[in-house]
Amino acid sequence: MKKCTKCNEIKSLNNFNKAETTKDRLTGHCKICLAISNKEWREKNKKKMQDYRQKYYAENKHYIDGRQKEYRSENLEVLKEKQRASYKLNPEEAKNRVKEYRFKKFGKQKAEKKRIREEKERSAMIRRCEREYHKRYLHPVKTNLRVRLNIALKLSGNIKDKSALSVIGCDINTLTSHIEKQFIKGMSWENNTINGWHIDHIIPLSSADTKEGIEFLFHYTNLQPLWAEENRLKRHKIPLVTNLYFKSVGYYSQKH
């Protein structure tokens, strides 16, 4: 029998750990008191313990990993049984541990794959929208202007020898941007129809009777959006300021 120097209880010798430095080769504190003291010390020195474990693992990584692998292979069924018992006692805690482990191991990789996938999907969606936008709105604008240029040149006895965009003086995106800046309330590309609004030549094409004059009037700066009814009422009328300018550059038709 021996008295514990911590709790002062007399206990049997098997309640004390072995110690090489004491006279009776046993610790002064009993196992229970020693466990309590160790737990209190660990609680107060968590950072110190963590640093020590990390340093020890880094210095003995190969040995520790090998020992753990060997233990798992020799005690596979025992470990599985412990896991099942632990899961039955605390299923939610076990699920959280698995989720945490998987996130640490695969989380960053999955997050990066997800980011790349979403970026590709976003880019593909933007391309689809651009193609649809071009098909629904920009292509008809370009086609209509091309047809109008062909008709105007044929009526004046000329042949089209340039692309419509080269005559307009800009690409289709610049042209649509120029038109959009002049939109008034209620205008959109969706109502660019026969009874909606039209792309109007501020100085009408009928005012020119030469090829150079028609091409001059087809420049994008002479284009504006105009409601269909207003465009019909305007017909061949020329605004006063543009009329004077048109006369000065020599493209004004004698019939006007």
| pLDDT tens profile 191-225 | 888 888 988 988 888 878 788 888 888 898 889 99
Encoded tokens for 204: 């009408």
Mean pLDDT to the nearest integer, 18-38:
88
φ/ψ bin of 157: left (φ > 0), alpha (ψ from -120 to 50), beta (otherwise): left
Which is more confidently placed, 235 or 251?
Answer: 235
Residue 94 has pLDDT above 50, yes or no: yes
Q: Determine the pLDDT at residue 249.
A: 46
Please provide the distance, in angstroms rounded to a whole number, between the alpha carbons at the two ends of the chain.
130
Q: Determine the pLDDT at residue 239.
A: 66
CA–CA separation, 249 vs 246, rounded Å?
A: 5
User: What's the pTM?
Assistant: 0.44
Say if CB 142 and CB 172 are below 8 A apart: yes
Residue 74 has pLDDT above 80, yes or no: yes
Which is more confidently placed, 237 or 4?
Answer: 4
Say if CB 236 and CB 205 are below 8 A apart: no
Question: What average pLDDT does the chain have?
Answer: 83
Residue 254 has pLDDT above 50, yes or no: no
- Which residues, at least 6 apart from 113, have a Cβ–Cβ distance to it below 8 Å? none
- Dihedral of CA 107/109/112/116: which sign? negative
CA–CA separation, 199 vs 192, rounded Å?
A: 8
Q: Determine the pLDDT at residue 245.
A: 46
Mean pLDDT to the nearest integer, 175-200:
88
Q: Determine the pLDDT at residue 159.
A: 81
Q: Determine the pLDDT at residue 240.
A: 57
- Cα distances (Å, whole numbers) of residue 88 to 81, 92, 96, 97, 164: 11, 9, 14, 14, 77
